[in-house]
Amino acid sequence: MAADVPTRKTPRGSVLGRDRILQAMERVPRERFISPSLGPLAYAGYALPIGGEQTISSVETVVLLCEALLLRGGERILEIGTGSGYQAAVMAELGCKVYSVERVAELSRAARKLLDKLGYLQVLVRWGDGGDGWPAHAPYDRIVVTAACPRVPEPLPEQLGRGGVMVVPAGERRNQRLIRITRGISGRLMSTVLEPCNFVPLLGRWGWSEKSACQTSGPGMRGGGDPGGDLWA
Return the active site residues.
Answer: 57
Query: Angle CA(229)–CA(232)–CA(233) in degrees, nearest 5?
Result: 120
Residues with Cβ within 8 Å of 4's Cβ and at least 6 positions away in sequence, in order, are none
